Structure 1
Amino acid sequence: MTMELLVASAIGVLVAGGIYLTLRARTFQVVLGLTLLSYAVNVFLFAAGGLVVDQPPIWGKDVAQHTDPLPQALVLTAIVITFGMTALTVILSLRSFLESGSDHVDGDADPEDAA
């Protein structure tokens, strides 16, 4: 019971932090927010898959109990895709910063910075 509560709380904290950072005005914070959201999805996939500790992922004649390899494959694929998309987003935000001189998502500077 406590492990499920801990995993659910970790997923909730990752989602809350990801949403908060995604709604910020700076591109680096948006990239970090999207990364946190992808981590939350990965942990959710592991939790929903019902992983069994110390059990092989392949069924055999001498194996009494095995774990489902599908969540592991999904998370591994998601990690690779997330890495590629994060690299693309960082390059696009760097290009936007170099061309506009601002790292704001909408291209406008903060009113606090102008004062």
Structure 2
Amino acid sequence: MIEFLASRLYYLVSFLLLGVGTYMMVGNANLVKKVIGMNVFQTGIFLFFIVSAFVSGGSPPLLTAPEPYVSPLPHVLILTAIVVGVSLTAVALGLIVRIYEEYGTLNENAIRKVISDE
């Protein structure tokens, strides 16, 4: 059992990151903590895709390399997702700064209360 868990450790870590990120996004009222939770969730997804693409004894997909080959597609997708994630984080933090300037708080419940009072 321990050998099985040790061989699947990266999967466990990726699902742990997914769970922690989801909890941070759902369980916190602070907008900055929600963005941090989103980044933790994204990291879990990145790790899952990279671990899923691992091939034991794999080599780069070149004509002279021996089989089995490793597909470069998951790595390229993750690089693209990292760029999109950084952009999304920058936009979210920019919006959070604007929300703070407008309402004076980062608490989601307080912002909803202020909006409903207007």
Please indicate the TM-score interval, normalised by the length of the shorter structure.
0.7 to 0.9
Show the 5 A alignment for 1:30-49. Answer: 30-49=34-53
Question: How has the CA–CA distance of structure 1 residues 96 and 53 changed in structure 2, closer, same or farther, with 3 Å as cutoff?
Answer: farther
How far 1:17 moved relative to its partner? 1.1
Question: What is the TM-score normalised by the length of structure 2?
Answer: 0.80
Structure-2 separation of matches of 1:75 and 1:105:
31
How far 1:40 moved relative to its partner? 0.8
Q: Which residue of 2 aligns with 1:77?
A: 80
How far 1:30 moved relative to its partner? 0.2
Is the 2:17–2:44 Cα contact (8 Å) retained in structure 1?
Answer: yes
Larger proportion of helix? 2
Structure-2 separation of matches of 1:51 and 1:28:
37
Unaligned segments of structure 1, at least 5 residues: 110-115
The counterpart of 1:27, out of the listed 18, 31, 43, is 31
Question: What is the TM-score normalised by the length of structure 1?
Answer: 0.82
How far 1:38 moved relative to its partner? 0.5
The counterpart of 2:62, out of the listed 56, 59, 62, is 59
Q: Paired residues, what number?
A: 106
